[in-house]
Amino acid sequence: MTSAGSGLSLLQTCALSLLVFTGASQFALVGALAAGGNPLTAAAGAFFLGVRNAFYGLRLSQLLALPRAVRPFAAQWVIDETTAVALAQPTRRSIRIGFVVTGLSLYVLWNLTTLLGALGAEALGDTATWGLDAAGPAVFLALLAPMLRTGTERAVAGLAVVLGLGLLPVLPAGVPVLAAALAAPAVLFVEGRRESRKGLR
């Protein structure tokens, strides 16, 4: 529904879910497009949010040890959930089973619910009148909040919000999301300086 509210067609919405199988990136892309952002800027924001999957892939490639021909297809399923399930398994066989079962079930359900949501949005007509433009950010925050367990993580999230919202009035749509990504290195830099000062005392 969020995608349809951003002006994407049913076909575009379904293709996005089929090809970009990572929720955070999809919500970022759709949110930037909904705000009138440049498609390239929106895609860049989505790309940077999905970079973490590449690091997951480095670890999973060692654990799964899949044949070279299969790896490009398996890469499509490297997401938070499949990584968490795979890493929790004790043997290579169970790692592979956990990865495949989790990846397949989530991929099918994600794309099925995307199709149903897009069809529902078409039936509703103008989704803006229902306030569905707020659904994407609300879902993203709901997914993010339980993950903020340490002070550093909360500081990164807080600074990202300040940067994103603070720069919203002065930068083109989609660019504040990219600027908010600077929150992590900024907080880590400050934390590192603080730790080095403690070590000198």
Same structural domain, 121 and 182: no
- The gap between the terminal CA atoms of the chain, to the nearest Å, is 56
DSSP string, 118-134: HHHHHHH--GGGGTGGG
Same structural domain, 154 and 100: no
Same structural domain, 129 and 166: no
In a domain, 74, yes or no: yes
The number of distinct structural domains making up the chain is 2
Same structural domain, 93 and 68: yes
pLDDT given at position 11:
87
Sign of the torsion angle spanned by Cα atoms 140, 142, 147, 150: positive
Same structural domain, 100 and 166: no
Element (H, E) at 201: none
In a domain, 142, yes or no: no
Same structural domain, 160 and 124: no
Same structural domain, 14 and 60: yes
Q: Is 86 exposed, middle or buried (0-12, 13-18, 19+ CB in 10 A)?
A: buried
Same structural domain, 36 and 126: yes
In a domain, 20, yes or no: yes
How many Cβ atoms are within 10 Å of 176's Cβ, its own excluded?
23
**Tokens at residue 116, please?**
């149903």
Local structure of residue 147 (DSSP, 8 states)? G
pLDDT digit string (tens) for the chain, length 201 residues: 566 556 677 888 888 888 888 877 787 777 777 667 677 777 777 787 778 888 899 999 999 999 999 999 999 999 988 999 999 999 999 999 999 999 999 999 999 988 998 888 777 666 556 555 556 566 667 767 777 888 888 899 899 889 888 887 888 766 777 788 888 899 989 988 888 887 666
What domain range includes position 193?
148-201
With contact defined as beta carbons under 8 Å apart, do 87 and 80 qualify? Answer: no
**Tokens at residue 144, please?**
């993010």
Same structural domain, 115 and 193: no
Q: Is 123 exposed, middle or buried (0-12, 13-18, 19+ CB in 10 A)?
A: exposed
pLDDT given at position 5:
58
